[in-house]
Structure 1
């Protein structure tokens, strides 16, 4: 199982636990939500590599960090946990940062099980700064595979963590520059285009240029945290180099239908269309349909383009009878979840082409 798949399962399970117990206290949050993530990242919670209630001397006072993740006895990651019933505040961030500064720990994770904040001890031009590498909610854990991987034991031991952080920071700097210079960039583009097409189009060009910069910023922010290799935006990242995406549907070994599309998301939508129209899928499932354990908040199929917590589906396909299928998923998750739907109506799927 890939790290992303493990993170997806973790997010689904955690979301279900939080929905069942939204006022979970700190002790239960640690045991049920924080420690499983520490284990998932390669730190055996029962080993000497993880020390609970690690002592930090702050002047004449001794403070304690909830978890110190250590390599050869030296802390490399501090994890500070709060209960689900406690919203994360600036004071909690400053508390963790002060511990990191005092001990010289490079990495920090602050979480209440609902929200996650990752910090890095960064040295630039002989100045030491503690910077925020990523902030996200539990349902977005899989989309933040990249910064979470930086906290893994394997990445820290191999030095990959630093490379991950540098890539994310480079994108953060690019986004900052784009935001600060959006007006100038739009003006430059407008000037170039107007020289070619005339001033009559200048206002439209300027509006389009600003919109382009905004879209670029969103794309960079979303994708900086997903994988080490930055991929194309949702909706275009699923085009194969050659050929098309094909899904063959069979029952009892006999092919009964075939979907062929140029995009993974379109193939996924067409397949769900078929299952609704021809296989009466809606008679076998509840809407909204939550994949996996069924306890998370991320809907795969709903009668409106949003998840059960009200958040909008970032990318979706409209399908039969006014429903929407969530498609902002990596290839393996698309295959897993549509196969799960297919099982509801006793058919099997085979994925061919660029899958």
Structure 2
């Protein structure tokens, strides 16, 4: 987790820089404000895992994303930066969302050094949809450990980022409900109390009931961004519907269902099933290169390495001592997960992706 003390120090240092240069332009904002935050999140700005001016094909033209944070050469976070002298607008948000959607990147950060907006792909939507996870100012950043931790390299590699997002969104839904139903809830609390002790204190109870709901909302909002996420064991389909499920079908009929806490785990369960029960290894060549088969990245191999000998820095271990490369965008995971069952005459469908 990103430490509160580190965020406090970052906030104070950045605030001094902006106070000294309130009209700080985009280039200076990137170097002095944005890049130190990238480093704080566990990304080496000088490594190949952070690409500046990442090209995105948009229609017949090409656009540039300020920063692409990558794992195994696959972008997992896009960062768009504006100068501290520029107010963030809905147009800037739409710009970042369109880049994320076009490439299939699940996470995005928009910032001008003063304000920070974090977006993530809505996994529960059947259509591409990038939703706001958190918005906060520089002076609030120390209390936003959880949404920032979701962008850290360690959390993205471990799958913890999804858990963080689900926790925050669950609390956000609760807060919205409390705000929408505030009057009704206050009346319910008042009725319960006055039924017990009489209506002599009715006005006082009404006032305190509204304060109670307001305090509960504030407490929940603080909890969403500060409370650590506990790592959970991989769920089974009977235990939860929030995991990543893949339904394996033949001729439209389901023959098996696999589930994982992360997309990588679900994909590994799928490949394991195909190896153990459907003879996948008899119809593919190992190392297996997906798509056209002309690339250098092995999807399945006997060792956690690629065709060119580079190590798979992120993988799932399969049965029979095989390895599945999983440092892929959500879009590519689905694409390759669809490709493998076809090798043995099957299809698959996705749930909660």
CA distance in 2, matches of 1:83, 1:101: 24
- Give the CA deviation at 1:202: 2.4
- Determine the structure 2 residue equivalent to 1:273: none
Rounded to whole Å, the distance in 1 between the matches of 2:15 and 2:100 is 29
Residue 165 (structure 2) aligns with: 165
Cα deviations by residue, 1:203-232 (Å, 9 ceiling, x for unpaired): 3212211111011111211231123169xx
CA shift digits 1:308-339 (9 cap, x unpaired): xxxxxxxxxxxxxxxxxxxxxxxxxxxxxxxx
Would you say 1:199 and 2:199 are equivalent positions?
yes
Secondary structure of 1:98's aligned partner = helix
Indicate the residue corresponding to 2:228 in structure 1: 228
SS in 2 for 1:224: helix
1:254 aligned partner: none
Range that drifts further, 185-194 or 28-37: 185-194
The within-5 A match list for 1:169-184 is: 169-184=169-184
1:116 aligns with 2:116: yes
CA–CA distance in 2 between the matches of 1:49 and 1:123?
Answer: 24
Give the C-alpha shift of residue 58 in structure 1. Answer: 1.1
RMSD: 1.6
SS of residue in 1 equivalent to 2:87 = coil
Contact residue 117 and residue 136 of structure 2 kept, 8 A = yes
Tell me, yes or no, if structure 1 residue 144 matches structure 2 residue 164. no
8 A contact 2:164–2:229 mirrored in 1: no
Distance 1:198 1:145, change over 3 A: same
Partner SS for 2:129: strand
SS state of the match for residue 219, structure 1?
helix
- Corresponding residue of 1:86: 86
Q: 1: CA distance between counterparts of 2:173 and 2:133?
A: 12
Within the alignment, does 1:12 sit opposite 2:15 as a pair?
Answer: no
Structure 1 equivalent of residue 188 of structure 2: 188
Q: Which residue of 2 aligns with 1:212?
A: 212
CA shift, 1:195, in A, is: 1.4
Trace 1:301-320 onto structure 2 (pairs within 5 A).
Answer: none
Cα separation, 1, equivalents of 2:26 and 2:69: 19
Which SS does the other structure have where 1:225 is aligned? helix
- 1:129 Cα deviation (Å)? 2.6
What secondary structure sits across from 2:225 in the alignment?
coil
**1:104 to partner: Cα distance:** 1.1
Q: Check whether the contact 2:80–2:96 (CA below 8 A) recurs between aligned residues.
A: yes
Deviations 1:264-287 (A, max 9, x none): xxxxxxxxxxxxxxxxxxxxxxxx
Matched-pair contact (CA < 8 Å) for 2:79–2:110 = yes
Q: Secondary structure at the match of 1:63?
A: strand
TM-superposition CA deviations, 1:232-284 (whole Å, max 9, x none): xxxxxxxxxxxxxxxxxxxxxxxxxxxxxxxxxxxxxxxxxxxxxxxxxxxxx
Unaligned 5+ segments in structure 2 are: 231-353
The correspondence of residues 333-348 of structure 1 with structure 2, limited to 5 A, is none
State the 1:127 CA deviation: 4.4
**How many equivalent pairs are there?**
230
The answer for the alignment partner of 2:103 in structure 1 is 103
Mean CA deviation greater in 217-226 or 8-17: 217-226
Question: CA, structure 1 residues 183+86, in 2 after alignment: closer, same or farther (shift >3 Å)?
Answer: same
The alignment's TM-score, normalised by the length of structure 2, stands at 0.63
Residue ranges of structure 1 left out of the alignment (5+ in a row): 231-355
- Aligned match of 2:58: 58
Q: Give how far 1:125 is off.
A: 5.2
* Secondary structure class of the residue paired with 2:149: helix
